[in-house]
A and B are shown apart, each in its own frame.
Chain A
Amino acid sequence: MLENALKGSRRYWGWIAFLAAVIGIGFLCYLRQLHYGLGITGMSRDVTWGFYIAQFTFLVGVAASAVMVVLPYYLHNFKAFGKITILGEFLAISSVTMCILFVLADLGQPMRMVNMILYPTPNSILFWDLIVLNGYLFLNVIISRVMLDSERKGLEPPKWIKPIIYLSIPWAVSIHTVTAFIYCGLGARPFWLTAILAPRFLASAFSGGPALLILLCLILRRVTRFDAGKEPIQKLALIITYAMAANLFFVLMEIFTAFYSDMPEHTIHFRYLFFGIDGARNLVPWMWTSEILGIVSLVLLIVPSTRRNESILTAACAGTFISLWIDKGLAMVVAGFVPSPVGNVTEYWPTAPELMISLGVWAIGFLILTVLYKIALTVREEI
């Protein structure tokens, strides 16, 4: 089955070579970072988490979103998702791998990472995150492998896989909940100290992830003989619509609570994001872009005639994805650190090596995704 990844067209190998080149550059930059220290990034004494941890947080959402195809297909026997469920699971595998790599890239002493296992510390949310992320990776590898294998042999999947599939459903919710708990349990950071963070994370995940999945299906339709079909894409679009509506609603609730109470320590971070404070306005244009893209995309998704038009749907999915990436993959982590606990406003912006390392990790994710999709689609063609 795996050997299918080694037989491909010239275009396939060209794409692999391109990804390998990006990974190579990223790896060289990572070696630089290992040598110089994390000071090579834009992070500072005041903003101690930046792009890496933000990518990690965003990608946990993409990984969790696989449940949006797994749940209807396996739990409600929604047949239309039969063709794309494996694509969702493979997306989860590549996203979780990227998550783990981003955490690794962010550690000051990565060679000591085993200390988390040698000295397990249940009172630390990071410990639980390690468990749920690796567990989720493991579950998805097992499930996708067994299901694809039985599909290839034309057999019924073994009975023991059912409970594992059911387990993967709450597990997907858990990975993003635990990731939200990393942030929302810190009295030191009022911006994150909100009970709605986990629901908001899940809502944004369940719109951003499936939006990426639709885009991937449309790309596959162009470059391969695989066609996901109209119905699953329309169903996914509906899921994105509801999740995105919930996400924007949650954001408005946060903004209302902060500004109606008018408590400075809660409003100041939003002020920083949307208007800037003390002349620090790095994120302001990004945040407005994110909000406007989000709202426009949601309108396009809600109106049935635009949602059913596949080219408009593509734009809406891209808009949703970019909007959520800015919100979670750029702004949300940084805003928690600005201003600092003593009121200092220090701006953050990723440096070139930091961006190259991040691109390298993304390229690893896409490489895994490409190889897995190649295997799955070749198996399907052979049946």
Chain B
Amino acid sequence: MAVDRRNFIKITGLAALGGAAGKEAMDALAQSEAKFSPMDNALHGKRWAMAVDLKKCKKDNGCKDCIHACHSVHNVPDFGNPKDEIKWIWREPYEKAFPDQENEFVPDDLLHASAPLLCNHCDNPPCVRVCPTQATWKRQDGIVMMDWHRCIGCRYCIAACPYGSRSFNWRDPRGADAEGKPYIKEQNPAFPTRMKGVVEKCTFCDERLAKGLKPACVEGCKQAALVFGDLDDPESEVRKLLRENFSIRRKPGLGTQPEVYYIV
């Protein structure tokens, strides 16, 4: 259900045809394609994916660099309780992250490792299938996007996501606790916050890719354990890594085809 630019214009065009605007609207439409354009330095991909090198990541299991990098740039609030928690990227123990890997005996370091989890940007995303307003959809480059303007907060996508990657704004993220401490410690004015009543999640930093930057978590990882790139490009770093290392994905049996790969 990806809506690319051409489709977007087609849809708006049909809407305009349906209206009384007539020829004038069509003229405006002809111009509209030229009116909007991507930035010159934008990163373009056909199948964005991420490889998480757990061999590097597990060296420091307490490390939260990627989480801090992501949550601070995206104004992710911290309500200080698990009930209202919002997370785009977080750590989970190995056996919780990969319940399908039922091996009783795995190397000790892996057993005690935790994996960074985020939206898998599935090729076949169940969240997109269930959304009643197209507030979440799959882009042509593989990113599962969210439109926070459109979301009605029905939370059907959360019920459908097998990875727990989606969070709901149970409260106003702009608020503050009883002591007056704001839930968003330091706002990044270049990026919006969300409002109460909408669902949010990782978008592979679409706003940074558009400006030629890699995702914040990738940049924030000092171990270089997170590698982002285009799987469609055989020369990309992700492809190279996945060619040379054995990797696993979360709950592959569900047929969602996650695009986040874990090198164990």
A124-132, A292-300, A324-332 - the one binding chain B: A124-132
* B85, B135, B164, B170: the one within 8 Å of A38 (CB): B170
Determine if B129 is an interface residue (Cβ-Cβ < 8 Å).
yes
Determine if B185 is an interface residue (Cβ-Cβ < 8 Å).
no
Which residues 145-166 of B sit at the A interface, judged by CB distance below 8 A? 150-156, 158-164
| Given A45-B83, A109-B197, A119-B133: A124 in contact with B255 (beta carbons within 8 A) | no
Question: How many interface residues does B have (CB within 8 Å)?
Answer: 48
Chain B contacts of A265 at CB under 8 A? 99
In the complex, per-residue mask of A344-375: 1 if CB is within 8 Å of any chain B CB, else 0: 10100000000000000000000000000000
Chain A contacts of B96 at CB under 8 A? 342-344
Determine if A232 is an interface residue (Cβ-Cβ < 8 Å).
no
Main secondary structure of the interface of A (DSSP, over half): loop
* A45, A110, A123, A341: the one within 8 Å of B85 (CB): A45
Q: Are B159 and A186 in contact, CB atoms less than 8 angstroms apart?
A: yes
Chain A contacts of B82 at CB under 8 A? 44-46, 346
Determine if B172 is an interface residue (Cβ-Cβ < 8 Å).
yes
Chain B contacts of A342 at CB under 8 A? 92, 96-97, 99, 117, 163-164
Chain A contacts of B83 at CB under 8 A? 39, 44-45
Chain A contacts of B1 at CB under 8 A? 121, 123
| Given A108-B196, A112-B152, A116-B152: A124 in contact with B132 (beta carbons within 8 A) | yes
Determine if A101 is an interface residue (Cβ-Cβ < 8 Å).
no
Main secondary structure of the interface of B (DSSP, over half): loop
Q: Are B97 and A108 in contact, CB atoms less than 8 angstroms apart?
A: no
Question: How many interface residues does A have (CB within 8 Å)?
Answer: 44
Q: Are A121 and B134 in contact, CB atoms less than 8 angstroms apart?
A: yes
* 10 contacts across the A-B interface (CB closer than 8 A): A36-B172, A38-B153, A38-B196, A48-B155, A108-B151, A108-B168, A108-B199, A115-B150, A119-B134, A121-B134
Given A112-B153, A124-B156, 8 additional A-B pairs, CB 8 A: A37-B169, A39-B170, A45-B83, A45-B167, A108-B154, A115-B150, A121-B133, A344-B96
Q: Residues of A at under 8 Å CB distance from B? A: 36-39, 43-46, 48-49, 103, 106-110, 112-113, 115-116, 118-119, 121, 123-127, 130, 182, 185-189, 265, 336-337, 340-344, 346
Q: Residues of B at under 8 Å CB distance from A? A: 1, 82-86, 92, 95-97, 99, 117, 126, 129-135, 150-156, 158-164, 167-172, 195-199, 254-256
